Structure 1
């Protein structure tokens, strides 16, 4: 599907016209790359957890902030994946992300349990 860019773009646009949002998962690794962010109309970008793990150095922090900025430039909501510690959460708050997820907040659970909380 990725090889037919015109078709994929049309399918994504048609889906969005029905009120469905489209997210790019694992941005910054594998197929979820910068060129795809420019070519396709994503609504949301989920930054790959591996980039957060690499943000333990100054260089890693700068790369993470840059990746978050790329998503903002593409007019996407930015989701930080894999937050597991207060330190990571404090860092993420400085990066301009819109949403966060990770074990720091909650582990996966059945919907029934979540709605009781």
Structure 2
């Protein structure tokens, strides 16, 4: 992992606590391009959602992102089990998304559970 990539991962770990729970060998192989360091308002909304839902909430960039050229990048959606949300919880997640154009929010189980396979 290059110094630039390590710096990006460190910034994302501070913004998205779920990344700190990942084993280092997995975290260092993440494709960081789709992850979003939220601005202050979205960061506050993300923290409030985590408290309300009892799960991790991750911010992603909306739209297509360029994958890593070597194809070695891992994605959280393939690594982690998603949280099961009620209709009301999903509505709260979507409302936060609607107030943050360019962002997509995804809830993962807390504590994390790696997908099998």
Structure 2-normalised TM-score? 0.28
Structure 1-normalised TM-score? 0.28
